Chain A
Amino acid sequence: MAGITGRRSRPILHLLLAAMVLLWTLPTLGLFVTSFRAGDAVRVSGWWTALAPATQSGMVRIAGDDTASGAVRSGSVLRPDQSGARITAFGVSSRDPDAFAAGQTAELPLGGQLTLHADGRYRLVTPDPAASGQRVFFAATMPPAFTFQNYFHVLSSEGLVGSLVNSALVAVPSTLLPLTLATFAAYALAWMRFPGRALLAVATVALMAVPLQMALIPVLRFYNFAGQALGLDTKSFLGIWLAHTGFGLPLAIHLLRAGMSAVPREIIEAARLDGASELRILIGIVLPLSLPVLAAFAVFQFLWTWNDIMVALVFLAPQEVLTARLVNLMGSRGGEWEVLAASTFVSLAVPLVVFFLFQRHVVRGAVAGIST
């Protein structure tokens, strides 16, 4: 029975899943497209129009030219930066701006002819070389236009590089530190016998339930107090490393313990009989065998510390991490969507790369953590 209903509901499930994925990624896609558009384009049309060719109408005046030797003038109605555009129609009076198709020849009311080609080249034959400018109206389709300009801009002038470095200085040690500590703790909880082991294991799980928002200020006050007592600079990277480590450790220990417990007991006992010390067993046997879980936690913790803003604002006031920089940009460049979008994507790029590099491990490790 279950099998039949399961099979029937699968297409619906897939549809639902696809819809959710689409909904979830649509804003990101919009941001992505916006980050590659020119500022004035962003302000007149939505990002979804940027992907299709746009129709634009324009007018140029072919100026009288004193130096012109003959009655024939030629040139282009398009600016050099519009070179990809195609003329669809043109006209010579404002009442009928698309009277002629591209490539046709229009008879001018005051005598003479004008030919306008699809690529914008024109040829004007006029009886009076010194006559004032002849107006040409045209409609053109513009190809989608994208630019890296926004990225050059934010990377060169908005202080993003400095905050990128700050973010890395926060995230990398804040990942490695809890990973290292939790490795030892998890091994002890999984494979060493000592009184109170089960209680400690339960306590670490219980700590995972403590909300960061609640603990942050007490921790900060204690840290400031301790820092002053020891004469340390309290607004340094050390503080945020310690804070992230503390908040990350419960999950780290829990995940790693689950992963390490999955190593068959006999393998560890064989190593013990072979004379390996606990440290040797940990480094030589258990760590290599629980790499997926280590990688999974490292990715989680890296993403979390990279994307964190609250702990950074509280513990790292003078230096600005990427997230804090983005918030400030929102204030100062609120209207300039293309700048914000590009900045956001700069900050997104690192986690994306990390995630895709370790994606396989993340899924496997997370499943191991849940199932145990």
Chain B
Amino acid sequence: MTEILFHHVSKLFGTSRAVTDFCLRITPGELIVVVGPSGCGKSTLLRLVAGLEEITSGTLMMGSVRMNDVPAAQRGVAMVFQNYALYPHMTVRDNLAFALTIARRPKPEIRAAVERIAQTLDLTACLDRLPGALSGGQRQRVAIGRAMLRNPRVYLFDEPLSNLDPALRVTTRTEIARLKERMPDATMIYVTHDQVEAMTLADRIVVMEQGAIRQVGTPLDLYARPRTEFVARFIGSPAMNLLPGTVVRTGPATTVALAQGAGVTVPIPTQPQDLGRAVRLGVRPEDLTPAGGCASIVSGRVLRTEPLGDVTLLQVAGPEGTVMARVPGTRTDLRHTDIALAADASRLHLFQDGLSLLCRDKGAGLSADH
């Protein structure tokens, strides 16, 4: 049961900023997923928590202890690396037992602990093999098991599933979810590139860009109420469509005129001074449905269809550029036809200068919960 508190944590490599003014409170037993584009500082963040990099400025607290100067080994933190980082010259058993051996725990205790974890992770059959003789999934489980054996206060996962093939990724993901359920007290920070991992595992998701937090929230919160265009496009796949338009009526609901000329009314409040401003209307591909004539938001010609089995992705060339839509069933017949797409007004987003109009007014309130 450890709370982790980042208080204006920054990390500089020379003069380049890898993590900038990072503020976050992770409640005990929470699983935080960190997402963001490559190079945004996710791994660096984990390494700061682990004590593998020195914090340049700010404070990192675990429980009530300031961690900035505590050596890595004494932080009670275990890390699962992307490339597993198993000791290649030791058997799986020795890999698992390494930390306990160093801690000089009695042999029978180590043996029992190793066998218990091996049982949990289904590794009993390969205990006496070298890591080189394991499959990717098995290596991943050994890496997780090695972390679990130390019984750490905090688990750090750095893209633990990215080297696995998709099928194995799904099973290992559910395994991690099960493990988390079995260890409700363990606090975890989990870095991933994978949308599904983030959405399914996270208690809260942290979206990072250029070393800074862009938004923190529950998966569904981020999905439903992205604060910025960046977050809106980062969460959800395929990414949200952004259609340029102009505000033509303000009030408790806003009407936006799109390039096509069609007016769309969105239940998002605006101020009178917003009248005439350029905005972007955000609509997720899965919210677009084929519709007849007047109610449509986008209309155009279907350039491509990508049938995925249960749904079909449509690439529609509209006046605002290419729009992605996701319609149920197999609809390859729509290719090269003209189509009109509509969406439920309550599921639309409005952005001005990259910032959501919905969050603009209570923007200060959202950042306060860090």
Contacts and interface: CB of A to CB of B under 8 A. Distances in A.
Interface size class of B (residues with CB under 8 A): 20 to 34
B102 A273 contact: no
Interface string A248-281: 0000000000000000101101111111100010
Contacts of A270: 79, 81, 85-87, 146
A289 interface: yes
A272 B52 contact: yes
Given A266-B85, A267-B85, A267-B87, A273 B103 contact: no
A267 B143 CA distance: 11
B98 interface: yes
Interface in B33-87: 50-52, 72-73, 77-79, 81-83, 85-87
Contacts of B102: 274-276, 280
B99 A275 contact: yes
A270 B51 CA distance: 11
Contacts of A272: 52, 72-73
B89 A273 contact: no
A285 interface: yes
A218 interface: no
A271 B98 contact: yes
Nearest to A276: B102
A272 B75 CA distance: 11
Interface string B82-115: 1101111100000000110011000000000000
Contacts of B88: 267, 289
A285 B52 contact: no
B150 interface: yes
B85 A288 contact: no
Contacts of A289: 88-89
A266 to B, nearest CB: 4
A357 B52 CA distance: 40
Interface centre among A270, A285, A289 (most CB of B within 10 A): A270
Contact of A273 (B72, B82, B83, B86): B72
Interface in B231-283: none
B87 A273 contact: no
Contacts of B89: 288-289
Contact of B81 (A266, A275, A285, A288): A266
A72 B103 CA distance: 98
Contacts of B72: 269, 272-273
Chief secondary structure at chain B's binding surface: loop
Contacts of A264: 83, 85
Contact of A269 (B52, B82, B86, B98): B52
A159 B88 CA distance: 49
A313 B88 CA distance: 46
Contact of A271 (B50, B51, B83, B87): B87
Contact of A275 (B82, B87, B103, B146): B103
Nearest to A285: B87
Nearest to B83: A266
A251 B82 CA distance: 34
A274 B98 contact: yes
Interface in B318-368: none
Contacts of B98: 271, 274, 276
B181 to A, nearest CB: 24
A28 to B, nearest CB: 38
A8 to B, nearest CB: 39
A276 B85 CA distance: 15
B148 to A, nearest CB: 13
Contact of B150 (A266, A274, A276, A288): A274
Contacts of B50: 269, 273
B146 to A, nearest CB: 8
Given A270-B79, A280-B102, A275 B73 contact: yes
A274 B85 contact: no
Contacts of B77: 273
A320 to B, nearest CB: 43
A272 B78 CA distance: 10
B71 to A, nearest CB: 8
Contacts of A288: 89
Interface centre among A271, A272, A274 (most CB of B within 10 A): A274
Contacts of B99: 274-275
Contacts of A267: 85-88
A276 B51 CA distance: 14
Interface of B: 50-52, 72-73, 77-79, 81-83, 85-89, 98-99, 102-103, 146, 150
Report the 10 A-B pairs with minimum CB-CB distance, sorted nearest first: A266-B85, A274-B99, A275-B73, A270-B85, A266-B81, A288-B89, A275-B102, A267-B85, A274-B98, A269-B52
Given A266-B83, A267-B88, A285-B87, 6 more contacts: A266-B81, A266-B82, A270-B79, A274-B146, A274-B150, A276-B98
19 contacts: A264-B83, A266-B81, A266-B85, A267-B88, A269-B52, A269-B72, A269-B85, A271-B87, A272-B73, A273-B73, A273-B79, A274-B73, A274-B99, A274-B146, A274-B150, A275-B103, A280-B102, A285-B87, A288-B89
